[in-house]
Amino acid sequence: MDIQVTPRPQWASFTSYLLVTVGAVVGIGNVLLFPLAIFHYGSLFILFCIICEILLAMPLLYAELLVGQRGKQNVVGSLVLLSYEAKASLWWKKLGWLYFIVAFLTFSYYLVYAAFPIGFLVSSVQVLQSHVTTASLPIVSDVDVLTQFSILFPCVLVLLLTVMLVVGRGIHRGLEAISCITVPLYLVILLGLAGYMIAMGHFSSVFQHLSWINEGISVYMIFIAALTFSFLKLKVGIGSMVVYASHLPFSVSLKRSTCWVVLIDIVVSLLAYIIVVPLMHGVSSDAYTGDLDANNMIVIFKQIPYGTLVASLFFFAAVLAAWTPLIAMLETMVTTVSEEWNMLRSRAVWWVGSALFLLILFIVLCRTDMIENVVFGYTYPQILKDITLEKLTPIAAFFMSIFVGWVIDRRVSEQELQFKPRVYTVWRFLMRYLIPGLILLIFIQQFPVS
């Protein structure tokens, strides 16, 4: 069997790779959902998140990076090459296409939810321009960006076109160029806002809340929530990390780069926590369920001086953080289509973008109730989200753990990861035994128990 490897451009520098990878990992979950989840579940959520990220998400991240750096192709091509190298069945190619489907569906509903911080940002800017006092800051639900077609559709269309433009320009002029601007920018904004909160004297309440445990929620349910959140937070099961690692030279250490990515991911989450949680103590936790279209985060900024400006900066950072993972997901799909079907990048961008537009338009029409939106008591967007997050993503990650833990030759993974012997032994044990079990737990837990 002849397998052709497409020559691939490499990242311009380690810093460029680090920034684009951070941009792919950090998203809405870090900036908006993480502080809400901690406020709802209590301090145990942080502890369980850290444990689950170390035992589940981070080893899986290493696995996907390993496949990408070794295969030097898209997810489908890399799995074919590594299967051939391990003399395993080429059935594993189907896993690559499952990753493609997950990326396609995830992009569709994630892009619609990315309009959420845009709506809050626009509302905050309007308040600033009208010179309204902070005390009379309006609640954004009066103009809900996720329920009005005239607002939601332009937002998602602009998001889609800008993401297509970036990906169409390639990894150097597109992905690297934009990540070198957006990622440092939202990091600086979040650092500045966290510093402002500390200067305002709200920092002590962060530690006070760390001692609070929500006795109304069982420890097991908090653990399951943290397990699922940590699994999804690092964007494993989508394929972006495989594609990004395929542009790495063999000399780059996955161990070093991945530690930096995970560290920055944690820092962004904690910065958002420091900014948001101190302002929540005067508001009932029942108002914050973590559902993007049911909450009104902007109201909490009414409590501090220059609240509208703080809110504007915070939601601007959230918009940037929500935008860069979309670039990574589209890059994954475009790379797969262009390489597997021997298509020019520009043509692949438009084919994939057009297909995404049709599905996204359907989701927007459903969300704005312009078409029949309920089947068996569930909305179509909710069904799409549940199928992708609760079913397909865990399935894809489960089989990836099996492939890397059991199919790939031990010498190959040792060579790529370059761990110390004891660290490698622990990682391999996690990939072969613990991680498949944890993923099955996530999968099974989503089904109602009668």
pLDDT digits (tens, 9 = 90+) for 199-212: 887 666 666 666 66
pLDDT digits (tens, 9 = 90+) for 260-310: 999 999 999 999 988 887 777 655 444 444 443 334 566 677 777 887 788
Number of domains in the chain: 1
423-440 mean pLDDT: 95
Q: Is residue 138 part of a domain?
A: yes
Contact 102, 238 (CB under 8 A): yes
Token representation of residue 137: 């800051």
CATH classification at residue 102? 1.10.4160.10
- Report the candidate in 301, 296, 325 with the shortest Cα–Cα distance to residue 312: 301
**Weakest mean pLDDT among 61-70, 168-177, 207-216, 431-440:** 207-216
What's the rounded Cα separation, in Å, for the pair 421 and 410?
12
pLDDT at res. 151:
81
pLDDT digits (tens, 9 = 90+) for 86-108: 999 989 999 999 999 999 999 99
pLDDT at res. 308:
78
**Weakest mean pLDDT among 95-99, 142-146, 442-446:** 142-146
Compute, in degrees rounded to 10, the torsion defined by CA atoms 141, 144, 145, 149.
-170
Q: Identify the residue with better confidence: 47 or 381.
A: 47
Q: Identify the residue with better confidence: 136 or 303.
A: 303
12-33 mean pLDDT: 91
Q: Is residue 425 part of a domain?
A: no
Range of the domain at 150: 15-365
- Write a three-state SS string for the chain: CCCCCCCCCCCCCHHHHHHHHHHHHCCHHHHHHHHHHHHHHEHHHHHHHHHHHHHHHHHHHHHHHHHHHHHCCCHHHHHHHHHHHCCCCHHHHHHHHHHHHHHHHHHHHHHHHCHHHHHHHHHHHHHHHCCCCHHHCCCHHHHCCCCCHHHHHHHHHHHHHHHHHHHHCHHHHHHHHHHHHHHHHHHHHHHHHHHHHHHCCCHHHHHHHHCCECCCCCHHHHHHHHHHHHHHHCCCCCCHHHHHHCCCCCCCCHHHHHHHHHHHHHHHHHHHHHHHHHHHCCCCHHHCCCCCCCCCHHHHHHHCCCHHHHHHHHHHHHHHHHHHHHHHHHHHHHHHHHHHCCCCHHHHHHHHHHHHHHHHHHHHHHHCCCCCCEECCEEHHHHHHHHHHHHHHHHHHHHHHHHHHHHCCHHHHHHHHCCCHHHHHHHHHHHHHHHHHHHHHHHHHCCCCC
Asked whether the predicted pLDDT for residue 395 surpasses 80, the reply is: yes
Percent over 70 (pLDDT), the chain: 84
229-247 mean pLDDT: 91
Q: Is residue 322 part of a domain?
A: yes
Token representation of residue 232: 């999804």
Q: Is residue 422 part of a domain?
A: no
What backbone torsions phi and psi does residue 423 show, to the nearest 5 degrees? -65, -40
Q: Is residue 398 part of a domain?
A: no
Q: Is residue 59 part of a domain?
A: yes
Q: Identify the residue with better confidence: 390 or 81.
A: 81
Q: Is residue 256 part of a domain?
A: yes
- Side chain identity at residue 167, one-letter code: V
First-residue to last-residue Cα distance in the chain: 50
pLDDT at res. 249:
82
310-322 mean pLDDT: 91
Q: Is residue 88 part of a domain?
A: yes
pLDDT at res. 195:
92
Token representation of residue 343: 């298509």
| pTM recorded for the entire structure | 0.91
Token representation of residue 267: 């820092």
pLDDT at res. 140:
40
Token representation of residue 308: 């509208």
Asked whether the predicted pLDDT for residue 362 surpasses 70, the reply is: yes
